[in-house]
Chains A and B, each alone.
Chain A
Amino acid sequence: MRTLIQLEVMRSLRNRRYLMFTVLYPALLYVFFISAYSGGNVAGGIPAKSYFMVSMATFGAVGAVLTGNAQRIALERKSGWVRQLRLTALPGRAYTFGKIAACAVTTLPAIAVVFAIGAIEGVKLSAGQWLGLAAVLWLGSFVFAALGVALGYAAQPEAVQPLVMIIYMLMAAFGGTWFPVSGSLKNFARFNPVYLYNQLASFVQPGHSMNTTAAAGMAGFLAVFVAGAAYLYRKDTKQA
């Protein structure tokens, strides 16, 4: 199984378009937001450079794993690569594990690049906070990796791209990626995994500790997405 995972990671890192979209795009947006707010705060009093450092890191990470998994799986189901793999001695789950592992590796540059820009722009955190924040955001991305797998098995390649984009953009828009969620929108945001994902980072703000409600919510979404992915995977295996 290790061979397959290596191959999956390598081809993801080799895919330039993928890296542009998941690493460069959020980084550029981050720079744009910092200059647009010119050192000010977002609503709620958090400095824009801190707020968008988190939201752009999560934006990049979610984009990396959603599009990476969903599109690849949908395409490879259609091309027959998934069938071909079933003719090897590898267990069926190896394919999905390979995809998720590749995602886990590709989210790291997305997070690291945005953090580096943040540090240069003057975001001040302790070493422990930097590491903790990176770890939390990295772990959180697995929730979306599972969603990506589920979507990849749910739809055909022609349908999956617009589907992923709509879900991704809606979750981002109402999850605090572009602006802080406030007022009545918060009632809905509780059911939005991107919002919960962003909330995981709140422990680095002064006077905050780990948001356990958000962490529990993320765990719940992870369970739901994994179950969905497993169900759709089995259904697909029977048809193929």
Chain B
Amino acid sequence: MGRMSTVTAGPRADGEVAAFRRVSKSYGRVKAVNGLDLVLRPGETVALLGPNGAGKSSSLDLLLGLREPDQGSVSLFGGTPRAAIEAGRVGAMLQSGGLMGDVKVRELVKFACDVHPRGHRVDEVLANAGITELADRKVDKLSGGQEQRVRFALAVAGANDLIVLDEPTTGMDVSVRQQFWASMRAQADAGRTVLFATHYLEEADSIADRVLVLHRGRLIADGSSAEIKAKAGARRISFELHPADGPGEETVLRTLPGTVSLDVTGRADGVRTVRIRSSDADAGVAALYRAGLYPRGLEVTSLGLEQAFLTITGEQDAADSTEEDAR
């Protein structure tokens, strides 16, 4: 049986917070996680992106030991996930994590502080999570966004080294969301490793220093947000070519370095509008001048992580379907 849950140790373990080694997990015939290989390093703030059903929540479940992998192994701080949780090194806020009813917010948070091996003081945790004013409310009487903040309080009730958050800002309005990320940043600044799954790409773009893109259970991109954008050809170069400045061969445009796609439209007066999507806009523009072209109204704009994300997952879909056709 290839059922090896969690054995890892040795010298490598020092520099790694969490590691997935060739991890797969299926539910029935659906491969939720497919050969995931991944190492999280201390102090990183990592965003986990992916469309619904990409395997984000499943991966987090495996990471936290809530489920066992079918194949491969998961380790946290060089040991089993359970050992790391018992040592109080991990705090987690899950989408599917419920709250105990019939108790007040303060009582629930106090409970979390008490059972944590390195628990903080209740008032401190309530303040950090921004729920001091909710302390005497019954847990059952909270709004969705308030519940999320209580869940966050449970996740940071002690001195964790890793904080795992699954879609943490769902149900929060914009101002609360900003407050939330401010308290999250404070956690990261204190040297904690933070892993969060989100579908708000601007959150990943502005907060994470590393972005992972999961698609159909596979890791299809791993890098800084800038690198992911570059990989997707996520900058747009646009300019006009005027007939007065010379002929300007289109073959030159096609061979520009980093070009992902090229679109040229001509007008009756001979002015051509060129739009290039490029993974290396700097080199592209330099080559443009080197080839003797004179681009007018030159603009280089970023397409944003969202566009990059759609491009990467779209390319993967195309590749998958070609692969299926080939069979």
State the A residues within 8 Å of B (CB): 3-4, 7, 10-11, 14-15, 75-76, 78-84, 86-90, 238, 240
Contact = CB atoms under 8 A, between A and B. Distances in A.
B85 A7 contact: no
Contacts of B88: 89
Interface string B77-117: 00000000111101110101111111100011011101111
Nearest to A1: B115
B195 interface: no
A152 B86 CA distance: 26
Given A10-B107, A88-B116, 16 more contacts: A3-B114, A7-B100, A7-B108, A76-B98, A78-B98, A83-B66, A83-B94, A84-B94, A84-B97, A84-B154, A87-B66, A87-B85, A87-B94, A88-B85, A89-B115, A90-B115
B23 interface: no
18 contacts: A3-B110, A4-B111, A7-B108, A10-B103, A11-B101, A78-B98, A81-B97, A81-B99, A82-B98, A83-B97, A84-B99, A87-B66, A87-B85, A87-B91, A87-B92, A88-B85, A238-B68, A240-B67
A89 B116 contact: yes
B111 A7 contact: yes
Contacts of A90: 115
Contact of B100 (A15, A76, A83, A238): A76
Contacts of A10: 103, 107
B253 interface: no
A149 B83 CA distance: 27
A90 B114 CA distance: 10
Contacts of A81: 97-100
A4 B102 contact: no
A15 B101 CA distance: 10
B120 to A, nearest CB: 14
B64 interface: yes
Contact of A87 (B64, B103, B108): B64
Contacts of B111: 3-4, 7
Contacts of A86: 66
A238 B65 CA distance: 10
B233 to A, nearest CB: 40
Contacts of B99: 79, 81, 84
Contact of A14 (B102, B112, B154): B102
B103 A88 contact: no
A18 to B, nearest CB: 9
A7 B103 contact: yes
A80 B117 contact: no
Interface of B: 64, 66-68, 85-88, 90-92, 94, 96-103, 107-108, 110-112, 114-117, 151, 154
Contacts of B112: 88
B258 to A, nearest CB: 44
B129 to A, nearest CB: 15
Given A11-B102, A83-B66, A87-B85, A4 B115 contact: yes
A14 B104 CA distance: 11
Contacts of B94: 80, 83-84, 87
Nearest to B116: A89
A165 B68 CA distance: 36
A83 B103 contact: no
Given A80-B94, A83-B94, A88 B100 contact: no
Contacts of B117: 89
Nearest to A92: B82
Nearest to A89: B86
A4 B101 CA distance: 13
Contact of B96 (A3, A80, A89): A80
B257 to A, nearest CB: 48
Nearest to B154: A84
B32 to A, nearest CB: 14
A89 B116 CA distance: 6
A7 B115 CA distance: 12
B115 A87 contact: no
B115 to A, nearest CB: 5
A11 B100 contact: yes
Nearest to A6: B111
A7 to B, nearest CB: 6
Best-buried of B85, B92, B97, B107 by chain A (most CB within 10 Å)? B97
A11 B86 CA distance: 26
Contacts of A89: 85-88, 115-117
Nearest to B107: A7
Contacts of A14: 102
Nearest to B65: A86
A89 B158 CA distance: 11
Given A83-B66, A87-B85, A15 B115 contact: no
B86 A80 contact: no
B115 A3 contact: yes
A62 B86 CA distance: 35
Contacts of A11: 100-103
A120 to B, nearest CB: 32
